[in-house]
Amino acid sequence: MHPSPSAPAHRVARLAGAAVIALVCLLAGLSVPGQARVFDPKTYTLANGLQVVVIENHRAPIVTHMIWYKVGAADESAGESGNAHFLEHLMFKGTKTLKPGEFSQIIAQNGGQENAFTSYDYTAYYQTVASDRLEIVMRYEADRMANLVLTDAVVLPERDVILEERRSRVDNEPGSLLRETMQSVLYLNHPYRLPVIGWEHEIRSLSTETALAFYRRWYAPNNAVLVVAGDVDASEVLRLAAMYYGKVPAKAVPERRRPTEPPQHAARRVILHSARVRQPSLSITYVAPGHNSPGGKHAYALQVLDQILGGGSTSRLYRALVVEQGLAAGTGSSYDPTAVDLSSFDFYASPRPDVDMAKLEEALRAELGRVMRDGVTEDEVALAKRQLQAQAVFARDSLNTAPNIFGRALASGRTVEDVETWPERIGAVTVEQVDAAARATLRDEQSVTGLLLPEPTT
């Protein structure tokens, strides 16, 4: 990620209707959104293949601009782990017209915030600025989509920055090391097993050439999604997108070819002892389907199951482990089906002082066994669905939520309609579907258990 300053706000000018009609005629493939259910986005596709999503939100005179590339750490070449994240850093190092760091300076001078992030399936760059500064952002973001300039003089020092980032955020953090190790054994063959930041020895081998090759292979308008949300007029956003991004030529982008995951037959266990550990923790992670992977039919039911088991102080795990048995200081679960391929279903718990970890693990497994054996109830499913659907209502209040939801979905192979109909699809989930999803997913042979413990006393 990249450091960022803070931001004020203003208004944006509106585009005349006749100009909009003329502009639309120049575009290839304007898509008319269906009946809005959550964010009411306007969606377009420019002639060069760039998908544009606009969410108008006039509560404050600011705008968030995000460009999402459909490429991430899982698309790297063998032996180049960390290359996608490396390029994310280097995208701030200048173009044919901007000096290294000048884009960031321009955003700061205009009172904006900016940053970027890399995941397994996508890389995103974003800015939040006053509405009347949107054109500045588009001009320079489109510039670095096509005109990045890299030399060893800027690349090699940035590689040292990433090595230090790895040392501080992973190597010196026992929890991060445990998660990295668990991820590496959760998947037997899929590149999701590799750390997004990269293995240290492979980061050291990254270079100007590896970064530029990745940039030239994947960074193109037809492999990107532009999401703009805030106090804007959709027609004005479309005009600016066509003016700046529309000039970037499309190019051939390779198909995402990733190794598939074989059947798993044995549970794994990872134990990390460290003198830095002050609070022990227990994690159990299962390979789970994403929307696009085999078993994707279970994705909505698994979201309901996640809410039932680990969704806050009313969840099964909290009531059982924290309130009733008094074993855990905290507990919960996590599942997100938004991925190009597989996902994971995660459970975690931390013990109260003097509680034996074996007893905590036994209690957590007993609760998972109970849901596998007895299933869930009609009342639990109804409550979980209401809670999830309420989250969709509250999501409209935030300027940043909508662009993140749409960007992640569209960069991972989902559609605008998938996002907009999410409350309906959650509402249609049945008890039988939740039970079937639990039994298909929470299987020991496709799990990794992680224990984070202090150094044993002698």
63 has a pLDDT exceeding 60: yes
- Looking at residue 16, its pLDDT comes to 31
Which strand (E) or helix (H) includes residue 116?
Answer: strand 113-118
424 has a pLDDT exceeding 90: yes
Q: Coil, strand or helix: which one is 266?
A: coil
CA atoms within 13 A on the CB side of 441: 36
Render pLDDT for 408-417 as a digit per residue (tens, 0 to 9): 999 999 999 9
pTM for this entry: 0.90
Cβ pair 337, 293 in contact under 8 A: no
* Mean pLDDT calculated for residue range 354-359: 96
Separation between Cα atoms, residue 336 and residue 119, nearest integer Å:
14
* Mean pLDDT calculated for residue range 27-50: 70
Separation between Cα atoms, residue 63 and residue 129, nearest integer Å:
6
The CA-atom distances, in angstroms, between 168 and each of 161, 217, 452 are 11, 31, 18
How large is the angle between the packed helices 208-218 and 83-90, nearest 10 degrees? Answer: 90
Cβ pair 345, 286 in contact under 8 A: yes
Per the annotation, the verdict on 88 as an active-site residue is yes
- Looking at residue 33, its pLDDT comes to 36
- Looking at residue 37, its pLDDT comes to 64
- Name the pLDDT band for 400 (thresholds 50, 70, 90): confident
Percentage of the residues of the chain whose pLDDT score is greater than 90: 89
**Which residues lie below 8 Å from residue 418, measured CB to CB, with a gap of 6+?**
291, 409
- Looking at residue 38, its pLDDT comes to 86
**Which residues lie below 8 Å from residue 229, measured CB to CB, with a gap of 6+?**
54, 55, 56, 57, 63, 64, 399, 400, 402, 403
Q: What are the φ and ψ backbone dihedral angles of 229, each rounded to 5 degrees? A: -135, 135
Cβ pair 437, 443 in contact under 8 A: no
Domain architecture of the chain: domains with CATH: 17-247 (3.30.830.10), 268-454 (3.30.830.10)
Render pLDDT for 77-107 as a digit per residue (tens, 0 to 9): 999 999 999 999 999 999 999 999 999 999 9
11 has a pLDDT exceeding 90: no
Q: What average pLDDT does the structure give for the chain?
A: 91
8 has a pLDDT exceeding 50: no
Q: What are the φ and ψ backbone dihedral angles of 53, each rounded to 5 degrees? A: -125, 125
* Mean pLDDT calculated for residue range 286-304: 97
- Looking at residue 12, its pLDDT comes to 28
Cβ pair 412, 339 in contact under 8 A: yes
Q: Which of 88, 158, 261, 367 is catalytic?
A: 88
335 has a pLDDT exceeding 70: yes
Separation between Cα atoms, residue 142 and residue 305, nearest integer Å:
42
Copy the structure tokens of residue 310: 């680990």
